[in-house]
Amino acid sequence: MYRRVVWGCIAMALIAAITYVLLGVGVIHAGDLSGKDMPSFFYVIPAAYVIMGVLILSRWRWIRIASAAVVALTILVFYVRYAGQPDVMWSAPGLITKIAQIFLLAGLIYLLAKTRPEKNTNVK
């Protein structure tokens, strides 16, 4: 189960990254956002999701905590920024990215719960 969740998290990170890239280059559209209206984070976040997807393979707890924080912040920023634009929030790209991010966040929380912190064995 643990490995399936790890690979599921990686898949969700890549789905979110691909969707953001497609949004950034204008292949798919979210509501009335156009190329000039696209915030700069549509180009930065895909790179972060690809890096996050690769780093999920490591068992470092602090990386998973940071990843969960980034995903939660991304979801929060989306809902705060586009709260008055239901055409963006309910668009296919908006739903795809948010569903992928919510599953990714749930998977990261599961992995954090299943991974115990390492004890420092160097303490005397």
Phi/psi region, residue 31 (left: phi>0; alpha: psi -120 to 50; beta: rest), is left
The pLDDT of residue 46 is 85
pLDDT in tens, 44-95: 878 888 888 888 888 788 888 888 998 898 889 888 888 888 888 888 888 8
Mean pLDDT of the chain: 82
What percent of the chain lies above the pLDDT cut of 90? 19
pLDDT in tens, 40-57: 666 787 888 888 888 888
Distance CA 108, CA 56 (A): 8
Q: pLDDT-based confidence at 102, cuts 50/70/90?
A: very high
Distance (Å) of CA 43 to CA 12, 49, 59, 69, 94: 18, 11, 27, 19, 15
Distance CA 99, CA 15 (A): 10
Q: What is the mean pLDDT of residues 98-116?
A: 89
Q: Amino acid identity, residue 62?
A: W
Structure tokens at 110: 């599961």
User: Is there a contact between 93 and 19 (Cβ–Cβ < 8 Å)?
Assistant: yes
pLDDT beyond 70 at 33: no
Alpha helices in 40-91 (DSSP H): 41-55, 61-81, 86-89
User: Three-class SS of residue 3?
Assistant: helix
Structure tokens at 89: 């929030």
The pLDDT of residue 123 is 52
The pLDDT of residue 44 is 81
Q: Which long-range contacts (CB under 8 A, 24 or more apart) does 37-45 make?
A: 39/81, 41/77, 45/16, 45/17, 45/20, 45/74
